[in-house]
Structure formats: structure tokens, C-alpha cells
Amino acid sequence: MVKNNFLDTNVIFNYSNYIQGGSKDIIKKCYLFIKDKQGKFILCGAVLEELSNIIVKRANIHKAVIRKIETEEFSFENLISKRDIPFAKKLYEKLRNQNIKKISIELAKERDLSEIAIQQFLKIQVDERALPLEQINNELVNKIHDIISNHADCKILASALQFQKDKDIFLFVTVDAKDLDPNGYDFLKEHFEINYSKEKYKFPELLNLMFVN
């Protein structure tokens, strides 16, 4: 039987960045997974929140690049996080000698196309919206935090676990290579079995597109 799919943010974001014939493997996998849809797509409030944060962050990176091109003394550290700086630097090196107005137009178009893809996906492809933010069980989020450090990931996983409770097993679809590789996911399940066996948490089946051909 075809299982339903509880989608992680990274799958949708990668899908939105697909270019025909020009994307790396993992982006192509996410694109094809959504295009060749099988089973329902389920989306939770925490994913919507993270998507919206990512959209804001990307605009901030682009703005920082424009500021740097305008004023060489401008420091990326003033505006964007450490993790984002290498990307801003690469963009800056690539674009620094071009006309600033043209650069701003191209960067905006890149953001806009990705946003249109996300918003079209949300409007057309999503079958079920699960767990608005206010329904996320914070206690459960904290329990996941013992193993996974990223707070947004914990909220998404907690939503998936809460939603899974009285449903047939669905797929938790992600491309997270850090915390949610198959071993990491098994470790998390084990941690719950040992420490919270009474609560009888039911885990969705992991589908990490990073690890499938």
C-alpha cells in the first residue's frame, strides 16, 4: 500500500530550487519526489514556519551581498549568521564587478521563482495540514532535543510523532544528512524506547532521500 508523506522543510526548499538539467542530484531527487507524487503530502505548522524563516534569511543574504558591493568596508558579520557567510562571500566574489541594479534584479528573481514554486506547491500539492504551531507538545520537543540539537528540526519531528499517534504509519521524508540519517533516526527511536517506553511513541518510517537511489 502506498504510504502518505510527512514532508520536512528541506525537501520543499530543494524542490523550489530545481533547474531543469542544471541541478545537483539531491535537488533533482526532491523535485522528482514531489513531481511523481505517490500518497498524500502532509505538512505541519513547524515546516511552514521554517520555510517562511528561510525565505526571510535568503533575502537578508542577498541584501548583505548588495550592501557589500555598494560599500566594500561593510562586514557580513553585521547582518547574517556565521553559517550563511560563506554563501554570501561566494555570491559577492561572483557578482562584485557587475552593475548593482542588475545584480539586485537577478537576485530578486532567484528568490521570487523559488517562492512561487513553494507557494504553488503549498496551494496545489499539499493534501493535509497537520499540527498548527500552538498544538506542538513542548515536552516532546524537549525530549527530542536530548538527541537532536536543531530546534526547528525538533519541532518538526515532534509534530510528526504527534500526528502519527493514531494514524497508519506514514513516511517522514527528509534530506537531512546530519541528524536524520538512517542510523541517527534509529538511535532516536532507541532513545525513546529506552527512556519513554510508557508513552509508546509511534515513529513514522524514515525516508531520507539522501540515502536512496
Partner 1 sequence: MVIRKTPQQIKEEILSVLNKGPLSVEQIRRKVESNWSTINTYLEELKKEGKIKEIFSADKAKIYQKLLGDTYFDIPITDEERKKFRTLFSLIMQEYKSKGIVPTKTYFAKCAVHVIKNEESGLSDLPIVWYIYGLIPQMIADPSQDYQKEWNLEHRIKIKNLIKEFMDINKNKSSGQIQREQHKEYGDELYILSDEFFEIVNRQRFENEEILESLNNFFIACPIDNEFSDIFNLTEKVLSLIRKLALLEVKLEDYRKEISTTFDSLWKFIALYKLYKSRTTGKNALNKETLLKFYIGNPLDSRKKTLQESLLELNSVYMSKLAEFDISKIKLSEEIKEIKSIMEDWTGED
Binding site for partner 1 (CB under 8 A): 9-10, 13, 17, 19-20, 22-24, 27, 50, 53-54, 56-61, 63-64, 66-67, 70, 78-79, 81, 83-84, 87, 90-91, 94-95, 98, 100-102, 104-113, 115-117, 119-120, 123-124, 150-152
Kindly report the length of the chain. Answer: 213
Nearest approach in angstroms of CB 46 to partner 1 is 13
Nearest approach in angstroms of CB 164 to partner 1 is 23
- Strands 205-208 and 128-130 come out as unpaired
Report DSSP letters for 96-125, one per residue: TTS-HHHHHHHHHHHHHHHHHHHHHIIIII
> Quick one: CA dihedral 198, 199, 200, 201, positive or negative?
negative
Is-contact 15 117, C-beta < 8 A? yes
* Grid cell at residue 155: 519541532
Q: Helix, strand, or coil here: 196? A: coil
Is-contact 124 150, C-beta < 8 A? no
Nearest approach in angstroms of CB 159 to partner 1 is 17
Which is closer to partner 1, CB of 98 or CB of 195?
98
Nearest approach in angstroms of CB 148 to partner 1 is 12
Nearest approach in angstroms of CB 45 to partner 1 is 17
Read off the DSSP letter of residue 84. T
Report DSSP letters for 163-175, one per residue: HHTTS---EEEE-
Which is closer to partner 1, CB of 19 or CB of 32?
19
Place of cell 524563516: 53
